[in-house]
Amino acid sequence: MLPPKPLLKIHEISKSYATKVLKRVTLDIHHGEIHGIIGANGAGKSTLCNIIAGVTQSDAGEMHLNGQPYDPKTRRDSLNCGVQMVHQELSLISNLTVAENLFFTNLPTRAGLIDQEELHARATLLLDRLGLSAINPETIVGSLGAGQQQLVEIAIALSKSCTLLILDEPTSSLSTQETNQLFEWLQQIRSEGIGVIFISHRIPELKKITDRLTILSDGECIYSDTTDKIVHQQILDLIAGTAETTQPKEPFVSYATDEPALSVKNLSLLPNKAPISFFINRGERVGLTGLVGSGRTELLSAIYGVSDTSRGTLQINNGAEREVFRGAHQAARAGLGMLPEDRKKSGVMLNLDIKSNLTITSLRDQFSRAGFISEKNEFAAAIKAIRRLKVKCDHVSQKVRTLSGGNQQKIAIGKWLITDSNILLLDEPTRGIDAAARLAIHQLIAEAASTGKSIIMASNDLEELMHNCDRIIVLAGGEISKIFVRATWSYEEIIKSCFSPRKIENHSCIGQ
Amino acid sequence: MLKQHAGLASVLGLICLIFSTTTEHFFQLTTFASIANQVPDLVLVAIGMTFVLILKGIDLSVGSVLALSSAVLGYFLVVHALPLIFAIAIALLTGLICGAANGIISVKARIPSFIVTLGMLEVARGLTKLVTSSQTIYIGTTIEFISTPHPMLRFSPAFIFAITVVMLGQLILTRTTFGRYCIAIGTNEEAVKLSGINVIPYQVSTFLICGLMCGTAGVIHASKLSSADPNAASGLELSAIAACVIGGTSLMGGRGNIISTFFGVLIIATLQTGLAQMGVSDPLKQLITGVVIITAVVSDSLRQRWTHLN
């Protein structure tokens, strides 16, 4: 079935930084196969891909591409061999247009000037071919949503000569529909004999799209075989190898009460859209989903007072109705806390220590006297918090930069637990973190709910919401499409409601 | 933190050692006393600048604001014969108002402080020339005591005052919620905002602090010269930024330390004095100072990268 000679042969690759990151990893990528790689954060996935793409070099071991020795020293070397890599972090130039980004390394020119007509024509052609005709090539990239930017980025890789395509968590910012679009492309390029390395944390996705699967754990390749031979729970067990994830999934326990915590009334996100109204009770967990561009992040921002354009009223704890907050400081004072979508950019302060990150919201009220920080109390609270959050670290004076993504996320949530905020707005709380940390964060959320806190969590991952929420609000095109309750919901129904008819054509233009 | 101070102190020590071996007159109490009595105004301005830089701002107007404050002081002392204490109060207020203007305009209107303070540099200098009619106002002996060295201590009250402000500034930066929030905002403004902190008062405050420091430095500067010079302290902004940067303050925000800045000022001043004693020509003095600034920053960034790797 598979061609006998592998496209890329990786033999006993090792790499050390401060610690050993890869330990004699051996695996093959074949022509026309989608090869999944999964592993906890720090398992060595990104390092392995960086070695293949020539971003960094291995300490030992060798690689062969198409039977030839392959040892890329730079990114350019690997590109010349047809190895394309799309990073998890977006690397588009946000001030330029989609067309300029698409052909950035190869802009058509006439007499030394950029040939705009030619550029536009080529870009339109490429976007059409990839089924992205909804994106206008003249759009400034920065004004597109994260999902669309990711698709453009993958389109750039596909537009070039490519024998091996490396995708590092391509779906983490994609909506279900966009993921399906991506999968169509992948099946297309598989049939053209191109090899694809597909890194993901999402097991169902890997099961669905990959032909073979490699599991990395602590720098070692512990499984590399056809995807069909292994089931979901086995994968999870192999990744973690700890008791934390091998525990059977706990049944959902609801902590919802009937005391109202927050009602949102007539909140308008975008002009000409139906206003949004909903409520959440104490101890309740409400999920927020919808396609990319449906307004999930915008809704959370509006409730938290960081959107300048939204209008509407809020009512907290049955108090008086008030206008939406103007500024996060007002929201925080009223007992709200927010976990932003982009952890590194706005969730944590990477260059500050764990302690300062944890106490940033509570410093003035809990850990200071007459403006001076009471360091002893602050230190004690930080230690208590990292135990409660099970953050893996050496000490609380360590910079947050040195922690893994999952542990960073625990810190970002932890600051609100110290503040004792009553309403937590969590935007993609488990995006880009490994399975074990994901479970730990779900437990934290459940724990918070059990103490009477109300949680609104937005996620692309519907299964995640179905496992963790009492109700799910589906947004489409900046409006509420439908609100589902646990007793009567079904996966199919919820997915369908993401595509309420009127909005299907619109949704891809909303970011513009 | 202490490690950083030790590094800067040893650089200062090394510079002193070099001058001590190359010139006969350098290693004397008089030299050190004269350096100490020469720096207070720059120390104060550099402290203000450190706060501004930590929050990712910059204040280019410090030299002009200093000159304006000393002009205002001279004007009210000489032309209106106001009591010293009132004249000083007005001079400090002048600095504070300039700082407030810098802060409020740049923060509220979201204009880069580089541009706003560049404008203020011109505005304050123009006002200085209006107040003084472009002529030096001779103030006389009333304010000389501020910069006159104590016969026993060898240090002037201004130097003692500057040291006190250094300690106070360090305390505010490292031990108070204000200082913590300043560093946090400089590190990641967006994250701090989303943590429910209103960052605007902090951003404006650093410009206020800087303005107040310029006002104070203006008084000290006038006392040094016994007069208000309309062209005083031009180019001081660059010395102040250099001192901050030598002390390890990052122009990208989030990193800075008052004691280190103080060392930065001492390094610059010692270099100037030592080179002058060696009889080095002005162009060469400038050149060497520039090389020292760049060397300091490069070695600091290498050290940063090295600690990052480990």
pLDDT of A1 > 70? The answer is no
Of A5-19, A333-347, B139-153, highest mean pLDDT: A333-347
> Would residue A3 count as lying in a domain?
no
A259 and A167 within one domain = no
> Would residue A2 count as lying in a domain?
no
A168 and A91 within one domain = yes
A267 and A241 within one domain = no
Q: Does B180 sit within 8 Å of A373, measured CB to CB?
A: yes
A479 and A414 within one domain = no
Q: Could you tell me the pLDDT band of residue A179, with boundaries at 50, 70 and 90?
A: confident
- A87 or B76, which is more confident: B76
pLDDT of A16 > 90? The answer is no
Report the helix count and the strand count for chain A, using DSSP H and E.
18, 24
A383 and A463 within one domain = no
A171 and A48 within one domain = yes
In this prediction, residue A42 carries a pLDDT of 62
Place of tokens 């400089």: B186
A258 and A224 within one domain = no
pLDDT of A323 > 60? The answer is yes
A104 and A157 within one domain = yes
In this prediction, residue A217 carries a pLDDT of 80
A155 and A16 within one domain = yes
Q: Is B304 on the interface with A (CB under 8 A)?
A: no
pLDDT in tens, B79-103: 999 999 999 999 999 999 999 999 9
Q: What is the Cα–Cα distance from A408 to A427, expressed in whole angstroms?
A: 15
Compute the C-alpha angle A409/A411/A417, nearest 5°.
115
- Both tokens of residue B17? 């050692």
pLDDT in tens, A45-62: 888 998 999 988 999 999
CA atoms within 13 A on the CB side of A29: 29
A354 and A330 within one domain = no
Which chain A residues are closer than 8 Å to B191 by Cβ? 340, 345-349, 360
Task: Provide the number of structural domains found in chain A.
Answer: 3
DSSP-assigned letters across all residues of B203-269: HHHHHHHHHHHHHHHHHHHHHHHTEE-TTTTTTHHHHHHHHHHHTT--TTSS---HHHHHHHHHHHH
Residue B176: which of A349, A350, A373 has the nearest Cβ? A373
Chain B nearest-CA distance from A181, in A, is 33
ipTM associated with this complex: 0.87
pLDDT of A203 > 90? The answer is no
Size of interface A-B (CB pairs under 8 A): 83
Q: What is the Cα–Cα distance from A100 to A84, expressed in whole angstroms?
A: 19
- Both tokens of residue B50? 């450190």
pLDDT in tens, A371-393: 999 999 999 999 999 999 989 88
Give the residue from A245, A260, A289 where a domain finishes: A245
pLDDT in tens, A427-457: 999 987 877 888 899 999 999 999 999 999 9
The CATH number given to whatever domain includes residue A198 is 3.40.50.300
pLDDT in tens, B189-231: 999 999 999 999 999 999 999 999 999 999 999 999 999 999 9
> Would residue A185 count as lying in a domain?
yes
A171 and A259 within one domain = no
Query: Which of helix, strand or coil describes residue A270?
Result: coil
The percentage of chain B sitting over the pLDDT mark of 90, rounded to a whole number, equals 82
Query: Which of helix, strand or coil describes residue B144?
Result: helix
A263 and A116 within one domain = no
Mean pLDDT of A248-254: 76
Which chain A residues are closer than 8 Å to B181 by Cβ? 360, 363
- A230 or A352, which is more confident: A352
> Residue A283: which domain range?
249-335+421-512
CATH level 2 (architecture), domain B31-297: Orthogonal Bundle (1.10)
Q: Does B196 sit within 8 Å of A349, measured CB to CB?
A: no
Q: Could you tell me the pLDDT band of residue B1, with boundaries at 50, 70 and 90?
A: low
> Would residue A341 count as lying in a domain?
no
